[in-house]
Amino acid sequence: MGKWTRRSFLASGLVVGGGLVVGVALRPGNRQSKLAPLVTGDGETLVHSWVKLDEDNVVTVIVPHSEMGQGAGTALAQMLADELDADWDLVRFEEAPAISEFANAPLGKGVLLEGVDIPEIVLPTVDGILLRTAKALDLQITGGSMSIRATGQYGMRVAGAAVKEMLRDAAADAWGVPADEVIARKSQLIHEASGRTAPYSEFASAAAEMTPPAKPTLKTPEEFGIIGKHVERHDIPSKVDGTALFALDVRLPGMLYATTRRAPTFGGEVKSIDDSATRAIPGVVDVVELPPTGVKAMLGGFTSPESVAVVAEGFWAAKRGIEALGVEWNESGNEGVSSEAIFEQFDRDIRAGVEREADVAEGDVEAAMASAAQVLEADYRVPYLAHTCMEPLNATARVENGQCEIWVGCQSPLTFRKAVAEALGFEPEQVTLHNCFMGGGFGRKSRADYAIQAALIAAKVGRPVQLIWTREEDVRQDFYRPAVQSRFRAALDDDGNLLAWENTYVDKHEPVEAPLIPYEVAARDIGHVGSPTHVPFGAWRSVDHSQHGFFTESFFDEVAAAAGRDPYAFRAALLKDKPRHLAVLNKAADAADWGSPMAEGRGRGISLQESFGSLVAQVVEVTMIDGQPRVDRIVAAVDAGIAVSPDGLSAQIESGIVYGLTAALYGEITIENGAVVQSNFHDYEALRMAESPKIEVHIIDSGHAIGGAGEPGTPAVAPALANAIYDATGTRVRSLPVNRLDLGSPQERTDQA
Amino acid sequence: MTRVKVNGTEREVDVDPSTPLLWVLREQLELVGTKFGCGIAQCGACTVRLNGRAIRSCVTPLSAADGQEIQTIEGLAPGEGQRHALQAAWIAHQVPQCGYCQSGQLMSAAALLASNPDPSDDEIDAAMQGNICRCGMYGRIKDAIKTAAKNGGASAPAAKETIDG
């Protein structure tokens, strides 16, 4: 998010210069002697940066990603274990420590070089530079649906194959036989001619001394034995008996608890504090002010605003203390800002078109509009959204003797470590970060503000402190999914052919391709204008796709209706040259029995979205009850290239759909007096079981490049819902959330009965 | 001094009796499997059983638990090395993603099955309506509850398999 873009990275010359000839998973020499003490225990040998073997022949994969529910660790371990020909029963994984050697350069490669044609010969160089760059930029990020398609594909598989070759060479040396006669199978090395068999672990030490091969042989998809198979997630047993360790569960001797508050109006600062009532509460230990802290980070710098903390012997006293605190805030100048004013500003700026920048401009849109039989126009908009991870933001810190130890759940451990160090005036090496399971992340836990606060409080009070945000603070001090307005025009000829597509929206972030449509249209002009607001913003599951998926696929449905065409057939007709898109669309439509009759008051909508390298089509069925939709069923088809962990992919799509559906039905952060109105789950609602539809996920293994899983389920659900509501009622949904709309009464069904 | 019986063990705590039970469990009794989610009984992450009934411990003062029996996620399994039928079903259906809400989900489900061993879909919805899962695993939770009910609910504990990683 923020100002960082792939373009600016490439333009900076970091990728194209230089001359290191080393890979990411394959750095020559061995760093194991340096890394080993950091990641190995008794009886373990670090064979490769990401692979340990122990005396019982157990392989431990060191995963440079955080676990926020997506199950990446299991899928990445599958990828490495498959290439290693390991026995899955002997495979474990653990998260990499937050040190720069585990920066996930493959993510950088995936993010930064996607779509860039690099000659094969320079790839090792590119990898090497990216590792260097990744270290410099603190790239140990979990986000962008990148874990499997980048780290897994470019890192884990290569590392697994390399280690297998090293073990085979070590066995061949020891046995005095040619390496090509040694077979690796289920964590055993076998030389059939001499009848010798030994576990991998026997050669771990010898392999650890070797230089990894420059080009290990990777398997073809037909050879996969673990990739593509259903395996149970390793983290799940600990999540059904209460033993999974979240940052909130950390307990340190002598630990205090704290909670914080910032100015409700963004930009406000402390004018005065009356803490007499707070200090009178039994258990309250201290009241401390925390200065604003700027954070520089690759994916957009930000400021952790000034805040006030109450520190107490227990959280309950801290919470009562903060409620009793008399804080007067300075006026920030934003007191007059409301959601209404923000949308008026968006409307004005789109109309003015000042400094409009085109994402795509091809063909003569104006000429097409002038000659069209019909020109359609519509304005769409979506509100700000909060993340509301189930686990409220928290961090536990101990700062003593020039060292900081911090326990946190975060999506970017290296960025957090550096941010905490800078806030304390330390070097990053003086900070040890323990990353715990995250109780949800969704983009929010890529911002280090809560970790900085915990460290500053611990430093001030001189005792370990667990900072826990109240849910109210979590809702009111988020980095929000931006509100956006988007204006469309489309031109149709007499026969209902789409001649031109014009779109102008505010506030462009990432991914850059989010507003593009896959459909064939001769003239397109898609562009954006700047219209900044004072509301802090950040990445939210699927980022810009979350808005543009709704906008483009809903307006496209309007175009289909104006053309007098069935929305599925109209889409399919304009995807003739895109067989992958078409296959996904067809799969969803077939599985949902598209075109079958529906009763009065019911409706069906379809949508298609490409995001993070994956394609997802959805069909939503609704029944209108008292002017609101009940979502009965959602059928999704997904092509993520190769489904590494099919049930895991399905679970991620299900999850993405519910996250997107929650936002579409209920999600709205409104601004009044420059501050957020909502505060907790009673007024910022989440979908619950009774409203949760039946969801079917159909996976297409197309064999194409592996795509993302965590985010692609989210964008397509809002438009499919909106289109289903139109089908049921004849009313277009052009703004969200749906529960704020007057959708009228069901239309009489004459079209499909 | 307040006396409570937690997971079968008598405990005494010396805390302001108006303190919500959630914080006593987490801070004094160090039973951190029960989670904080909202503080106003809206999300269910803090659900525990008080005399068998599912309650939201974030709004239940310690005084209300005085002399009562409390069961938390740590006490759900029938014995060491065993799993409750719901826990086994949760694994079989691969329910948890982030896992943070699951202690509360399981305790609500356990209370349901204890009073209604064969619940209908609507009864499951009603019993689970207070528990939010932001990862959106409602379909899997419902399927897992039905599987556990089929397997005898609370009365038929499943052996713990050796699949921990």
Establish if B36 touches chain A: CB-CB under 8 angstroms.
yes
pLDDT higher than threshold 60 for residue B3: yes
Binned at pLDDT 50, 70 and 90, residue A460 comes out as very high
Q: Report whether A255 contacts A464 (CB < 8 A).
A: yes
Q: Report whether A106 contacts A182 (CB < 8 A).
A: no
Query: Are A233 and B94 within 8 A, CB to CB?
Result: yes
Locate the domains of chain A by residue range. 6-231, 247-332+393-468, 341-384+480-740
State what percent of residues in chain A have pLDDT above 70: 87
> Using one digit for the tens of pLDDT, what is the confidence trace for A392-419?
999 999 999 999 999 999 988 888 999 9
Residues 6+ apart with CB under 8 A from A351: none
Query: Are B37 and A392 within 8 A, CB to CB?
Result: yes
Number of helices (H) and strands (E) in chain B: give both, helices first: 5, 7
How far, in Å, CA of A510 to CA of A734, rounded?
22
Topology (CATH level 3) of domain A247-332+393-468: Aldehyde Oxidoreductase; domain 4 (3.30.365)
Residue with tokens 């609910």: B153
**Can you name the residues that pair with A400 across neighbouring β-strands?**
A403
Query: Are A391 and B35 within 8 A, CB to CB?
Result: yes
Q: 3-class SS at A695?
A: strand
pLDDT higher than threshold 90 for residue A520: yes
Per the model's pLDDT, the better-predicted residue between A15 and A492 turns out to be A492
Query: Chain B partners of A437 at a C-beta cutoff of 8 Å?
Result: 98-100
A219: its two tokens: 């398997």
pLDDT higher than threshold 50 for residue A116: no
Query: Are B83 and A238 within 8 A, CB to CB?
Result: no
How far, in Å, CA of A716 to CA of A712, rounded?
8
A-to-B residue pairs, Cβ atoms closer than 8 angstroms = 191
Domains A6-231 and A247-332+393-468 share a fold: yes
Average pLDDT over residues A616-621: 98
- DSSP 8-state secondary structure symbol assigned to residue B20: B
Establish if B80 touches chain A: CB-CB under 8 angstroms.
no
How far, in Å, CA of A701 to CA of A378, rounded?
37
Establish if A647 touches chain B: CB-CB under 8 angstroms.
yes
Average pLDDT over residues B87-116: 97
Q: What angle do CA A144, A483, A708 make, to 5 degrees?
A: 15
Query: Chain A partners of B45 at a C-beta cutoff of 8 Å?
Result: 390
Mutation target vs A (from B72, B94, B98; most A CBs, 10 A cutoff) = B98
Per the model's pLDDT, the better-predicted residue between A258 and A612 turns out to be A258
**Can you name the residues that pair with A102 across neighbouring β-strands?**
none
> Using one digit for the tens of pLDDT, what is the confidence trace for B127-138?
999 999 999 999
pLDDT higher than threshold 90 for residue A157: no
Binned at pLDDT 50, 70 and 90, residue A277 comes out as very high
**What integer pLDDT is reported at residue A66 of this predicted model?**
78
Three-state DSSP string of A444-503: HHHCCHHHHHHHHHHHHHCCCEEEECCHHHHHHCCCEECCEEEEEEEEECCCCCEEEEEE
**What integer pLDDT is reported at residue A511 of this predicted model?**
86
Query: Chain B partners of A690 at a C-beta cutoff of 8 Å?
Result: 125-126, 129
Chain B 86-125, residues with CB within 8 Å of chain A CB atoms: 86-87, 90-91, 94-103, 106, 124-125
Q: Which of A234, A439, A690 sits opposite B98 (nearest CB)?
A: A439
Q: Report whether B124 contacts B138 (CB < 8 A).
A: no
**Can you name the residues that pair with A399 across neighbouring β-strands?**
A404
Mean pLDDT of chain A: 88
Chain B 39-78, residues with CB within 8 Å of chain A CB atoms: 39-40, 42-43, 45, 72-74, 76-77
**What integer pLDDT is reported at residue A97 of this predicted model?**
80
Binned at pLDDT 50, 70 and 90, residue B154 comes out as low
Establish if A316 touches chain B: CB-CB under 8 angstroms.
yes
Mean pLDDT of chain B: 93
How far, in Å, CA of B41 to CA of B59, rounded?
6
CA B31 to chain A, closest CA, distance in angstroms equals: 9
> Using one digit for the tens of pLDDT, what is the confidence trace for A63-108?
877 777 777 888 889 999 999 999 999 999 988 887 776 665 554 4
> Using one digit for the tens of pLDDT, what is the confidence trace for B50-99?
999 999 999 999 999 999 999 999 999 999 889 999 999 999 999 999 99
Query: Are B32 and A251 within 8 A, CB to CB?
Result: yes
The sign one gets for the Cα dihedral A130, A545, A513, A613 is positive
How far, in Å, CA of A651 to CA of B96, rounded?
10
Residue with tokens 């069925």: A621
Kindly tell me the burial class for residue A599, based on how many C-beta atoms sit within 10 Å of its own C-beta (0-12, 13-18, 19 or more): exposed
Mutation target vs B (from A323, A391, A689; most B CBs, 10 A cutoff) = A689
Average pLDDT over residues A118-145: 48
pLDDT higher than threshold 70 for residue A321: yes
For A6-231, CATH gives 3.30.365.10
A395: its two tokens: 């961090």
How many CA atoms, within 13 angstroms, populate the side-chain half-sphere of residue A438? 29
Domains plus CATH for chain B?
2-73 (3.10.20.30), 82-155 (1.10.150.120)
> Using one digit for the tens of pLDDT, what is the confidence trace for A537-575?
999 999 999 999 999 999 999 999 999 999 999 999 999
**Can you name the residues that pair with B13 across neighbouring β-strands?**
B2
pLDDT higher than threshold 90 for residue A143: no
Give the E-state strand segments of chain B in sequence order. Answer: 2-6, 9-13, 47-50, 53-56, 69-71, 82-83, 158-159
CA A464 to chain B, closest CA, distance in angstroms equals: 14
Binned at pLDDT 50, 70 and 90, residue A154 comes out as confident
Helix (H) or strand (E) holding A257: strand A256-262
Query: Are B96 and A248 within 8 A, CB to CB?
Result: no
Residue with tokens 């550096």: A418
Binned at pLDDT 50, 70 and 90, residue A303 comes out as confident
Query: Chain B partners of A470 at a C-beta cutoff of 8 Å?
Result: 39
**What integer pLDDT is reported at residue A215 of this predicted model?**
78
A391: its two tokens: 């686990």
Closest CA to A204 of A90, A291, A327, A64: A90
Q: Verify cis geometry, omega within 30 degrees of 0, for the bond prior to B96.
A: no
Average pLDDT over residues B26-47: 98
How far, in Å, CA of A676 to CA of A264, rounded?
7
**What integer pLDDT is reported at residue A115 of this predicted model?**
42
- What's the Rg (C-alpha) of chain A? 27
pLDDT higher than threshold 90 for residue A175: yes
Binned at pLDDT 50, 70 and 90, residue A127 comes out as very low
**Amino acid (1-letter code) at residue A332:** S
Establish if A636 touches chain B: CB-CB under 8 angstroms.
no
- The answer as to CATH 3.30.565.10 being correct for domain A341-384+480-740 is no
**What integer pLDDT is reported at residue A40 of this predicted model?**
80
CB burial of A158-191 (b: ≥16 within 10 Å; e: otherwise) equals bbbbbbbbbbbbbbbeebeeeeeebebeebbbbb
Q: Report whether B23 contacts A316 (CB < 8 A).
A: yes
